[in-house]
A and B are shown apart, each in its own frame.
Chain A
Amino acid sequence: MRKHFNLLFEMTKVRFKLRNEGSFLGVFWYLLGPLLTFIILLLVFSARLGSGVEHYPLYLLSGIVIWNFFSASTSSSLNSIMGQAGLIKSLPVRRDLLVFSTIFDAFFSHIFELVILFGLMAYFGVLSKTILLFPIILILQLMFALGTGFALSSLHFIFRDLGQVWSVLMRAWWFVTPIFYVLNEGGPGEKVNMFNPMYHSINISRDVLIYGKIPNTTSLIIFTCFAIAAYVMGYFIFTRISPRFAEYI
């Protein structure tokens, strides 16, 4: 077991190094994407959609950051195994470590994003004790990402064009989720978003971070269920397909 942790640590380290290799400000480039999105959307919408929202910049940034973690981790995990074809075919490595390392790597970068978010929160003076509840939410989000990552990386073997499908899906999903807008109470958007795990994830994060409230119970329960289900199902799919990885590549 110990050696698995060791390998995981090494692999995550390697991924992190690779992503930021050659550039001193490597991590910075990773952050630049969401930051730019944030600035642009802020400028465009703060006067209109954002006018009625309390702490719109924080509302926006939190949505972007949390979404970004999900999006980046799942996209990179999609190709995590196919991309390491040579490794899979030559050494008996535990396959799930590859996915773990990819998502943990994204997670580390996510920490940096969160730091910026917290910085902004401090600037607006909204730091409160409920932040201490955030780590729990973070773990749930991690579980959700892992489950999705497992499912995607293994299904990629069966559906070779899953990458394309997933990126289109992500785009649509981004618009459905209220990241830069607010849902109308009792409107159709709310009904649809009940089924959207990312909505709940962002919702409870915002509650805890920005509004200093205990997270919305419904959202919390729904999201917890999603996270556990995703992890269990994803891992199940993964273990079913992974013995055949070396052959399918």
Chain B
Amino acid sequence: MIPETVITVDNVTKDFILQEDETILAKIVGKANGSSMPRKIRALDDISFTLKKGEVLGIIGRNGSGKTTLLRVLAGIYTPTRGHVHVRGKLMPLINSSVGVQPKLTMRDNIYLVGSLFGISRSEISSKFDSIVEFSELDDFVDVQLYKFSSGMGARLFFSIAVHLEPEVLLLDEVFATGDVRFKEKSRDKMMELVQGDATVIMTSHSEDFIKEVADRIIWIERGRVQMDGVPEEVIMAYKKDMKNLRIGGLTKKKEIISSTKIHLRNRVLHRRKPLTIFLHIPKSGGTTIRSHTVKNLQQGEVLAAYNTLLNGKDPNVHIASLSEEECHNIKVIFGHLIMFNEARNSFAGREIRLITFLRDPANRIFSLYDQYRKEYDITGCTNKKSLILSENGDILQFEEWFDKSRSKLRIMNPVAFALYWSSAVDNKITHINKAHFKLAKKALQEFTFVGITEQPEDFSICYNLLGVNTSHVDRENVATRSYIDLAKSRFKNMNELKDYVNSSMPYAQEFYEYAKELNKKQKKQLKSKLAKSLAFA
């Protein structure tokens, strides 16, 4: 015998209109001004399905996708804007636990009331009264006023009433979310009983496992539309997959350069953290200036570089707001480079944020200091044990290992610096750096969030490269161009000074020169800006 169709949902659409003027005066004023179009929200969009007698349908979907609206339309609480619904049989909607219940009345009164609300006659309620009470296990509370019940008790009572009144079609909206294990089992058993007795059930749940057990069929609703309709395992798998994507996703394509002199962030929010504020207490003649910057969303794998040209050649004190006073004592900026002492390392151990000492190669003089500091404070000089060193012949060594072996002439890089150098090296066509090292560095970058404080603005351009941006991107060019040229302009008053600087063994001089030259060439070709012209190198 073919089971008859019990529920038919036929191209149902449901719109809600948001009313804006609610008071009489507002309406009059509104009419006088010319009323604006009220906003419409489409809660259900062309939904169709049918259910046969005895089927158990599960409806899943995110919050706000339209599940409850659909149930309400089925129950007759809302009338659909378009389409129609046909339900055959005694319908019992349980859309809200314990609705219609009057808290000030006793359980007995409420049973009669709720029964009548469901359309059952007094005599029938009377006959079922005892079994209702028994199922809910609230025998001792029959004449107790309902406000004295706990919410779980109330839900049990309500479910018990509904279930005993022999519904033919049952609509459940997240009814099993509350209730202890025993009640859940009992209700499941009772529901099974009903289902075997040819009752049709539609239920909503957020608990995928539960619904998988009970449902014959699952419909996944997303934003008012039927996303998928079929076998429970398949639909749930697809649903779970989609939810996961949402968590990781949220990638936006925008890139923001706030300013070349400030923080450069890329808008890829993986998850949000508490705002991170970095204070630089800069010693100045006559007192200390505090420059601070708050980063709202520091993201995983992000390098945040803060820089300040006003360091006045002096070393500022660094204070990172999410650390304690004591922890901050273990971080120092020396000669424009951030040194973190061993003790401080532990502060960061459990966190995603790693402080990097330098975004580029440290000055030679650092090493002498390092020696000294190492004796005093037992520091590593780099952020953490994972710091890698690229030796000249391309080996990767741990920092300490390297340091013991040789000094100064080798390039020291922590993973970040390494990646920075690598990416800039690509541009400058320096080929002796191993790609494998780069991969390793990139991996480290993806695991941790780095905060770097530096005096050199040109490091910003490197940040771009760090995040895998196409290095020929125009923005990066502008930033780099501006920063180098600005820096050059601010530091050297004329060509001779620059040449002097370049010819000295001052740090980064060579790179600086090379890079500026490179850029200059490009600029001459492409941009032909005034600035480029003013810095015409031979």
Measured CB to CB, the residues of A under 8 A from B are 2-3, 6-7, 9-11, 14, 17-18, 21-22, 86-93, 159-162, 165, 243-244, 246-248
A154 CB to closest chain B CB, in angstroms?
Answer: 14
Find residues 73-115 in chain B having any chain A CB closer than 8 Å to their own CB: 75-79, 91, 93, 95-96, 99-100, 102, 104-105, 109, 112-113
> CA–CA, A21 to B104, complex, Å?
8
Find residues 109-133 in chain B having any chain A CB closer than 8 Å to their own CB: 109, 112-113, 116-122
Find out whether the CB atom of B121 lies under 8 angstroms from the CB atom of A91: no
A161-B25, A244-B79 given; 14 more Cβ-contact pairs under 8 Å: A6-B122, A9-B116, A10-B113, A10-B116, A14-B105, A86-B100, A87-B100, A89-B72, A89-B96, A90-B77, A159-B23, A159-B24, A161-B23, A246-B78
Chain A residues, Cβ within 8 Å of B23: 159-161
> CA–CA, A126 to B231, complex, Å?
80
10 closest A-B pairs by beta carbon, nearest first, are A92-B76, A90-B99, A90-B96, A10-B116, A160-B22, A7-B116, A161-B23, A90-B95, A3-B119, A246-B77
Find residues 1-34 in chain B having any chain A CB closer than 8 Å to their own CB: 16-17, 19, 22-25, 27
> CA–CA, A248 to B78, complex, Å?
11
Chain A residues, Cβ within 8 Å of B27: 159
> CA–CA, A18 to B17, complex, Å?
35
Chain B residues, Cβ within 8 Å of A18: 102, 104-105
User: Contacts A10-B113, A159-B24 given: A88-B121 contact, CB under 8 Å?
Assistant: no
Chain A residues, Cβ within 8 Å of B100: 86-87, 90-91, 93
Chain B residues, Cβ within 8 Å of A22: 104
Chain A residues, Cβ within 8 Å of B75: 91-92
Find out whether the CB atom of A161 lies under 8 angstroms from the CB atom of B79: no
Chain B residues, Cβ within 8 Å of A246: 72, 77-78
Find residues 302-349 in chain B having any chain A CB closer than 8 Å to their own CB: none
User: Contacts A87-B99, A161-B23 given: A17-B16 contact, CB under 8 Å?
Assistant: no
Find out whether the CB atom of A92 lies under 8 angstroms from the CB atom of B102: no
> CA–CA, A220 to B30, complex, Å?
42
Q: How many residues of B contact A (CB 8 A)?
A: 33
Find out whether the CB atom of B118 lies under 8 angstroms from the CB atom of A91: yes
> CA–CA, A2 to B77, complex, Å?
21
**A161 nearest in chain B by CB position:** B23
Chain B residues, Cβ within 8 Å of A6: 116, 121-122
**B14 nearest in chain A by CB position:** A247
> CA–CA, A92 to B93, complex, Å?
8
Interface flags for B462-501 (1: CB within 8 Å of A; 0: not) read 0000000000000000000000000000000000000000
**A165 nearest in chain B by CB position:** B24
> CA–CA, A91 to B113, complex, Å?
13
Find out whether the CB atom of A11 lies under 8 angstroms from the CB atom of B116: yes
> CA–CA, A92 to B171, complex, Å?
12
User: Contacts A160-B23, A246-B72, A246-B78 given: A2-B93 contact, CB under 8 Å?
Assistant: no
Chain B residues, Cβ within 8 Å of A161: 22-25
**B94 nearest in chain A by CB position:** A90
Chain B residues, Cβ within 8 Å of A86: 96, 99-100
**B22 nearest in chain A by CB position:** A160
Q: CB < 8 Å: which of A14, A87, A243 contacts B79?
A: A243
Chain A residues, Cβ within 8 Å of B96: 86, 89-90
Find out whether the CB atom of A17 lies under 8 angstroms from the CB atom of B99: no
Most buried by B among A10, A91, A248: A91
Find out whether the CB atom of A14 lies under 8 angstroms from the CB atom of B95: no
Chain A residues, Cβ within 8 Å of B17: 247
User: Contacts A6-B121, A88-B77, A91-B117 given: A162-B24 contact, CB under 8 Å?
Assistant: yes
Find residues 433-476 in chain B having any chain A CB closer than 8 Å to their own CB: none
Find out whether the CB atom of A14 lies under 8 angstroms from the CB atom of B19: no
Chain B residues, Cβ within 8 Å of A247: 16-17, 78
A7 CB to closest chain B CB, in angstroms?
Answer: 4
Chain A residues, Cβ within 8 Å of B77: 88-92, 246
> CA–CA, A90 to B75, complex, Å?
8
Find out whether the CB atom of B24 lies under 8 angstroms from the CB atom of A7: no
Chain A residues, Cβ within 8 Å of B76: 92
**A2 nearest in chain B by CB position:** B121
Find out whether the CB atom of A90 lies under 8 angstroms from the CB atom of B93: yes
**B100 nearest in chain A by CB position:** A87
Interface flags for B59-78 (1: CB within 8 Å of A; 0: not) read 00000000000001001111
Chain B residues, Cβ within 8 Å of A11: 113, 116
Q: CB < 8 Å: which of A3, A88, A162 contacts B120?
A: A3
Could you pull out 26 A-B pairs where Cβ atoms are within 8 angstroms? A3-B116, A3-B119, A7-B117, A9-B116, A10-B113, A10-B116, A10-B117, A14-B109, A87-B100, A88-B77, A89-B72, A89-B77, A90-B93, A91-B75, A91-B93, A91-B95, A92-B77, A92-B93, A93-B100, A93-B117, A159-B22, A159-B24, A160-B22, A246-B77, A247-B17, A248-B19
B131 CB to closest chain A CB, in angstroms?
Answer: 20
Q: CB < 8 Å: which of A17, A92, A248 contacts B105?
A: A17
**B79 nearest in chain A by CB position:** A243
Chain A residues, Cβ within 8 Å of B19: 248
**A8 nearest in chain B by CB position:** B116
> CA–CA, A2 to B116, complex, Å?
11
Find out whether the CB atom of B102 lies under 8 angstroms from the CB atom of A14: yes
Find residues 137-156 in chain B having any chain A CB closer than 8 Å to their own CB: none
Find out whether the CB atom of B121 lies under 8 angstroms from the CB atom of A3: yes
> CA–CA, A14 to B114, complex, Å?
11
Chain A residues, Cβ within 8 Å of B104: 18, 21-22
**B118 nearest in chain A by CB position:** A91
**B112 nearest in chain A by CB position:** A10
Chain A residues, Cβ within 8 Å of B79: 243-244
> CA–CA, A6 to B25, complex, Å?
41
**A85 nearest in chain B by CB position:** B99
Chain A residues, Cβ within 8 Å of B118: 91
> CA–CA, A17 to B116, complex, Å?
16
> CA–CA, A90 to B114, complex, Å?
12
A157 CB to closest chain B CB, in angstroms?
Answer: 9
Most buried by A among B109, B116, B121: B116
> CA–CA, A243 to B78, complex, Å?
7
> CA–CA, A95 to B176, complex, Å?
29
> CA–CA, A244 to B17, complex, Å?
10
Chain A residues, Cβ within 8 Å of B95: 89-91
> CA–CA, A246 to B99, complex, Å?
14
